[in-house]
Amino acid sequence: MEDVFASVSTRWRSFDYVCGFFFKAAEYIKAVESSSSAFVSTNSVSQGVQVAEFWPLVLDSAKLGFARTSFKWSNLAANNAGVTCVVIGLCANSRSGQCTIFDETTSRKVVSISPYMVAGDAIFVKARPQPISDVSAMLLGNFAKDGGNLICDYTEIGTLDEIARRFLRPMFGGQEFIDGLCRYCFWISDEEFPEASKSHELRSRFALVRDNRRKSPKKATVEWSAKPFRFVEIRSPNYEEAMVIPIVSSENRPYLPVGLLPRRSIVNYAFGMYDAPLWNMALIASRLHLVWVATVCGKKRGTATPTLLEHFSGTDSHREEQSRPHAVR
């Protein structure tokens, strides 16, 4: 991959391996215009941030002559994992005539095919750190990297001493929100650490967190062993209310789940929007947004991938999840 891409891109490490085949085929087609190529690939080549980084390199030399949109594929092997695939055909930019898009039951002629597997010109959606319009920022949640020792299930609350209970905050990741699970975390600031240290329960947990972080292969995590009472990655601003948006959700759901959390809740493995206007929730849960996500960010077997802000998450889920109304205030 480095031999193929290092001279044309600094982002090649994020490319799927099959991208090397597409790129070399495009170079060949540019040299031999009468040639063409086609590859079966996982549909991730037409999804997420990779599209804007990779496909301009191909389209300098060739164009999409035909495409078979996403379909599920599996083989006869025992316990094989289902894969969602596309078939993409390349031909010379100079070749005239219409292109063809195939789906489950039909084919249609179009003037051009976008790398997102839809009819149209190659317009690329690039990742950006801030919204382009007047909507609230969506931030990835907070990560403890604590070996589970700063996390507390509902059943454990009764075993805690009074001091430890003061620092409990409701915690919601995608699983907690969708399945209606009750989990909590210990949320302690630097200023609150002396008071928290008076709790025998918390001192024991801090020691376990410290040992866990010291064993990490990552230097940054090891350094956080000096503050075993804090989450390692804290992205929450000061806020009154938070909305939670799960990173993954069932592909059979006709909307993306989003909910308004109880006050003082901590967003864990999910996205959070803080003190956002209520209409932002309607935008996220809209059918239009789901169509956008399916087109630009993609959908996987058993999941709907996250909103545009974060299509690079490596999370996957193969459960049929059900929304639980009591998880929404």
In a domain, 189, yes or no: yes
In a domain, 131, yes or no: no
End-to-end CA distance of the chain: 49
In a domain, 99, yes or no: yes
Q: Is 153 helix (H, G, I), strand (E, B) or coil?
A: strand
Give me the number of domains the chain comprises. Answer: 2
Whether residues 213 and 318 fall in one domain: yes
Cα gap 77→96, rounded to integer Å: 42
Give pLDDT, residue 298: 73
In a domain, 255, yes or no: yes
In a domain, 70, yes or no: yes
In a domain, 321, yes or no: yes
In a domain, 121, yes or no: no
Q: Is 109 helix (H, G, I), strand (E, B) or coil?
A: strand
Cα gap 186→167, rounded to integer Å: 5
Is the CB of residue 306 less than 8 Å from the CB of residue 271? yes
Task: Tell me the DSSP string of 222-281.
Answer: HHGGG-TTS-SB----S-S-EEEE-S-B-TT-SS---EEPPTT-EE-SSEEEES--THHH
Domain finish residue from 110, 126, 149: 110
User: Closest Cα partner for 184 from 200, 160, 217, 219?
Assistant: 160
In a domain, 134, yes or no: no
Helix, strand, coil % over all residues of the chain, rounded to 5: 30, 20, 45
Distance of CA 250 to the CA centre of its chain: 14
Bridge pairing between strands 99-102 and 62-73: parallel
Alpha helices in 97-199 (DSSP H): 162-166, 174-179, 193-196
Domain that holds residue 15: 2-110
* Residue 210 bridge partners (DSSP): none
User: Closest Cα partner for 266 from 189, 156, 211?
Assistant: 189
Is the CB of residue 54 less than 8 Å from the CB of residue 13? no
Cα gap 175→172, rounded to integer Å: 8
Distance of CA 157 to the CA centre of its chain: 32
pLDDT per residue of the chain (329 residues) written in tens, 0 to 9: 999 999 999 999 999 999 999 999 999 999 999 999 999 999 999 998 899 999 999 999 999 999 999 998 877 766 666 788 999 999 999 888 899 999 989 999 999 999 999 999 999 998 888 888 888 888 999 999 999 999 998 889 999 999 999 999 999 999 999 998 889 999 999 999 999 999 999 999 999 999 999 999 999 999 999 999 999 999 888 888 999 999 888 878 888 899 999 988 999 999 999 999 999 999 999 999 988 888 888 765 333 333 333 333 333 333 333 332 322 22
Whether residues 85 and 221 fall in one domain: no
Whether residues 83 and 158 fall in one domain: no
Entry pTM? 0.75
